[in-house]
Amino acid sequence: MKARIVVTLKNGVLDPQGKAIEAALKSFGIEDVSGVRQGKVFDLEVASENREQAEATLKAACEKLLANTVVENYTVEIA
């Protein structure tokens, strides 16, 4: 099964990278973009027998490695 995991910063967590991107966009003359927040996306294959097992595997992958659950949220989409 194909799946996509999106990891984003929790609300309230400062995103200096997002601020830097916003400033860079302005320097390129792109003025009307604000509140930029950067995250990560993982596209992958999961070899599970059923959807529930795939979700459990991907949840474990996020909790153990892909997301820092103290400051990040993650969403799992299974195609």
Binding site residues, its own copies, CB under 8 A: 6, 8, 18, 21-22, 24-25, 28, 30, 32-48, 57-58, 60-61, 64-66
CB of 13 to its own copies, least distance (A): 13
What residue type is assigned to position 55 of the chain? E
- Containing 76, the helix (H) or strand (E) segment is strand 72-78
Question: Which lies closer to its own copies via its Cβ, residue 41 or residue 71?
Answer: 41
Question: Which lies closer to its own copies via its Cβ, residue 38 or residue 68?
Answer: 38
69 vs 74: CA distance, rounded Å: 8
- Containing 72, the helix (H) or strand (E) segment is strand 72-78
